[in-house]
Structure 1
Amino acid sequence: MAAGALAVLLSAVLAACGGSGDTPSPETDEPGATPTGQTGGTDTGQPSSPSSPGAEETVIVISDFAYDVPTSVTAGGTVTVRNEDPVAHTVTSDEPGVFDVAVGPGEEVEMTAPASGGDYPFHCTPHPNMTATLTVR
């Protein structure tokens, strides 16, 4: 008798859990989709914000007395400057007053990109042979 009750209970549980996911959901009309009001995925339908996990970080890396600069940065956006060298460097715009940040050995600082789009050549004040260009979009 217990085995028969267990079989009925098991059948009821399996029926309640329902199918293979290939049947369209009444809330979504898409096969295998998560019905409205239930969790299951990470896609909220909203575009990712720059602070979302996995968003590309805007970083200028200084290593071996050279700059590694992103292809472009957002106008007015925050740019992290990471110095991987054992000496201090700067990120100083060739045009005075646009930007000028110092970063010690092994340190990381943030700076604000210029508010207007364009190309901004820059250099390291103590090491003038270090040069690069920041492209702002």
Structure 2
Amino acid sequence: MSLTYPDRVHTALRVGGACVLLALAGCSNDGNGSGNDTTTPATSASSAPSSTSNTGAAHISIKNFTFIPAKLQVRPGTKVIVENQDSVTHTLTATGDKKFDTGDIDPGETATFIAPSTSGSYPYICTIHPNMKGTLTVS
């Protein structure tokens, strides 16, 4: 069976239109088909603040004499990276039995420690500025 000229044109237009739609859908980066090329980070509805990257390390920033986040939940043995974004030296030191201590972290520098292997709540302070407080929860 052969198609007449008008049928061939309509078929070609339909196939071409389908190809254009597929190409446009493939260009979408945002996952919802809107065609926007912006990437929005996923957010979590979790009530426990967390700052864990894809590498498995957790992050705590020090800024304006504050630990951010002040409460962090991690798994036992997690590497914790502490970044001092302030203009003065700080520490991040567990109170009590001192399960972890970064030592002095100069402005613009980072330090790391490994979260305890035992589950529990570990309060910490800056030993230079004891009014700075936070809690690491290991579970």
Report which of the two has the higher share of helix: 2
TM-score, normalised to structure 1's length?
A: 0.58
- Determine the C-alpha separation between the residues in 2 that align with 1:115 and 1:51: 21
Q: Does 1:62 align with 2:72?
A: no
- Determine the C-alpha separation between the residues in 2 that align with 1:120 and 1:87: 24
> Match for residue 76 of structure 1?
77
- Determine the C-alpha separation between the residues in 1 that align with 2:106 and 2:92: 11
Q: Deviations over 1:83-127 (max 9, x none)?
A: 100111111111133111131111111110011111100111110
Poorly superposed stretches of 4+, deviation over 6 Å: none
> Match for residue 97 of structure 2?
96
Q: Provide the alpha-carbon RMSD of the alignment.
A: 3.9
TM superposition shift of 1:51: 4.6
Match of 2:125 among 116, 123, 126: 123
The one-letter amino acid of 1:58's match is A
The one-letter amino acid of 1:72's match is Q
- Determine the C-alpha separation between the residues in 2 that align with 1:118 and 1:136: 5
CA contact (8 A) 1:63 1:85 kept: yes
**Count of aligned residue pairs for this structure pair:** 107
> Match for residue 45 of structure 1?
none
SS of the residue 1:109 aligns to: strand
Percent of matched pairs sharing the same residue: 38
Q: Does 1:109 align with 2:118?
A: no
Where structure 2 has 5 or more consecutive residues not aligned to the other structure, the ranges are: 1-20, 23-52
CA contact (8 A) 1:60 1:70 kept: no
The one-letter amino acid of 2:64's match is D
- Determine the C-alpha separation between the residues in 2 that align with 1:83 and 1:121: 19
CA contact (8 A) 2:72 2:135 kept: no
> Match for residue 16 of structure 1?
none
SS of the residue 2:87 aligns to: coil
